[in-house]
Structure 1
Amino acid sequence: MTESRIIRAAAAQIAPDLQNPGQTIQRVCQTMEEAAARGVQIIVFPETFVPYYPYFSFVSPPVQQGKEHLRLYEHAVTVPGSETEAVSAMAAKHNMVVILGVNERDHGTLYNAQIIFDSTGEILLKRRKITPTYHERMVWGQGDASGLKVVQSGAGRVGALACWEHYNPLARYCLMAQHEEIHCAQFPGSLVGQVFADQMEVTIRHHALESGCFVINSTAWLSEEQIQSISQDSALQKGLRGGCFTAIVSPEGKLLGEPLTEGEGLVVADLDMALVTKRKRMMDSVGHYSRPELLSLLVRDEASSPMRKTSGVHHAEY
């Protein structure tokens, strides 16, 4: 018999603090407190939630984005830094695995970063979105494959991708091949409209089925007041509504609990980890259902660097 192990998971749908971006991290910590009171052992927050997703880049012409881009830069997160220290402390306090999306500042460049904190508070992984999407390329640099990793956490084997990285099947397969048990998906939310939410549901349910893992998906919420603060144009404001689908999916592709499509809150569900084995017994896409002698994936997983020394010593950071 497969041993049953139950992990209580949460997907958070909350709003950032656009007026006082430095306070968004407090919303993260408060939400962790609320989740802890409900016995949550792993929680996922939205894409680049700290300090906030760059919604301005979706509704403003590039020539008008300079001021907002600089403001985002000034409030972006360094890793490690005070924001990560606060989350680490809260994770350790509540014995909770945390997946947090941040705008990471590394010298002169911003990155869309995902940070996985273990239940001890240790940072297990910091990865960067490998290809920012469309309008996002005006804001973020590109990540590399060094972060395409599945890590062993207090909740199990955890992997993460951001938004349209889920439409890169090779990126997903890279995590699948590392036998992720819990996949953490992050999307911005409050963007594009209902079609975005519909696409999101198809995407996360398909990944759960294909990989035989649980998927925890988190999107952010914007209030009407926040939408109006981003754009005064009523036509453009339509592009900042809808597109929320915070949900948890089983390895069988079933929704666990009611997804959140409006407002703030938590989706909480118990993950029976025995379902991973039960699903993969029938279809293991990177095991008995794969044909590596016919089809395989090559990953260049070294960290990229703008400089390499002729001595052959590779320095990833300067």
Structure 2
Amino acid sequence: MAKLGLKCLTIALVALLSGTNIYGQDKKIIVAQDGSGDYKTVQEAINAVPDFRNATTVILIKNGNYKEKLNLSASKKMVKLIGENPEKTVLTYDDYAQKKNSFGEAMGTSGSSSFYIYGDGFAAENITFANSSGPVGQAVAVWIASDQAVFKNCRFLGFQDTLYTYGRGSRQYYKNCYIEGTTDFIFGSSTAMFENCILFCKKGGSYLTAASTPDTTKYGYVFKNCKITGDAPENSFALGRPWRPYAKTVFINCELGNMIKPAGWDHWGKESNKQTAYYAEYKNTGPGYKPDKRTDWSQQLSDDEAKTYNITQVFRGWNPVQ
């Protein structure tokens, strides 16, 4: 028995030092502002994740308003943030595009983000991501280049440019999330699917999405079973405009509020975008769905075309709901 006990202790120590959990569970780090966890700040917890770890590291974040400008580097892979309550676990900062950096230069849109996420395999649940600078132009809440990223039951708060799906070629999945903003509040080049999400169009806004899908990528933004609502005036929002010529955005079985313009889409003042951008809908509902009044360069999908927008095909074989 003594030898067996010593062997078990040795295994446990090796597992602890290597970051492996011998009970088959993910390694967990706890963040609490009151000092009851492992760290008081989210960035400290992120920094504690071993570089290039080949297992999921869970960071549990207790309720609180964490005002931090966060960065999860590319070496921090398979990191999962879990909040205690999606409305009370808030990660926020207040930079914006025209704000000056330490050299007296404007930060720009990318520099304004509250959270930069590079590490692949990132996941988040029950968290609010916010940019609290207010209606001051471009001000990003989350800038994400991570491939195979998953957000569930999260909130994204801001005004212009709230959610920057930056990653060229990256795949991102959003489920049961709330995303709000004014202009281009979901934008970027990633392939991203949004399922059962609420998209809240705020007063003073004009465009919901601004995809910059590369010409070599088949799928850009795919919205399925989402609800578009808000306090914006009637006929004040377009579903999207092409930030880059080959932008791709599709709404499937979504409920569209009356703030959506009858034309549906905008070509960003460039006629050639009408030939390259791909904008489509399928069996949407609500007062904002007026297929007979849509721009003649947008599409209404057939049943067979709509079937191609399944999760594994959109994500090139990756299935985040398995």
TM-score (structure 2 length as normaliser): 0.28
Q: Which has the larger radius of gyration?
A: 2
Which protein has greater RCO, CA pairs closer than 8 Å, 6+ apart? 1
TM-score (structure 1 length as normaliser): 0.29
* Structure with greater proportional helix content: 1
